[in-house]
Amino acid sequence: PSPYESLSIALLEGWNHGRPAIVNGRCDVLRGQVRRAEGGLYYTTSREFEEAVRLVLERPDIAARLGAGGESYVEAEYRWPLVLHRIETLLATVFGGIFLALSGVVAVETISRKLFNISLQSADELGGYALAVGSTIAFSLALIGRNHIRVDVFHERFPRAIQAALNWLAIV
């Protein structure tokens, strides 16, 4: 294996099935993953590679312990709910940052207009972009977190066919 690997899907898949890993020790990323997971061995020479393979084959207890460590690491770091939570947190942070920056631009625009009679000329345009990007992020967050709502004041009073059509339209 190359010493220039990034996060290896093959490594994660092996760990997902409880298999120990043997990775190139000259690859900082994989060596770091194996160390953090306690899920395998790493080598830097062909002799070390042979010894690692022999150890895993001849000592199933060690292989099982390493495989279990890797599987636990995948469970703790890469399961879909955790990844979604990290994405939600990142998007919420970006969303907040956009509107915090927009607040600063509007404040500077207002002060410069009132005190110096100078307009930045771009605050409105930046506000529109911030609203568009922020709305996209907010809608994405609502969809991912299943936080979107629907007002059912009239919905329940419609016939089932119209309710179904409205539900389909809402999805689209």
The predicted pLDDT at position 63 comes to: 97
The predicted pLDDT at position 148 comes to: 67
The predicted pLDDT at position 27 comes to: 93
Tell me the two tokens of residue 119.
Answer: 């307009």
For residue 65, give Cα distances in angstroms to 10, 18, 35, 59, 167. 19, 9, 13, 10, 50
The answer to pTM > 0.85 is no
Q: Is the pLDDT of residue 20 over 90?
A: yes
Tell me the two tokens of residue 5.
Answer: 């690997």
Transcribe 42-84 into DSSP letters. Answer: EESSHHHHHHHHHHHHH-HHHHHHHHHHHHHHHHHHS-HHHHH
pLDDT of 86-131, one tens digit each?
Answer: 888 888 898 889 889 989 988 998 899 899 988 877 888 888 888 8
Mean pLDDT of 6-20: 91
Instruction: List, in order, residues 6 or more apart from 38 with CB less than 8 Å away.
Output: 66, 69, 70, 73
Angle, helices 28-37 vs 9-16, to 10°: value is 20
Mean pLDDT of 143-159: 75
Q: Which residues pair with 41 in a beta bridge?
A: 22
DSSP tag of 95? H
Mean pLDDT of the chain: 88
Provide, rounded to the nearest whole percent, the portion of the chain with pLDDT above 70: 97
What percent of the chain is helix, strand and coil (3-state, nearest 5)?
70, 5, 25
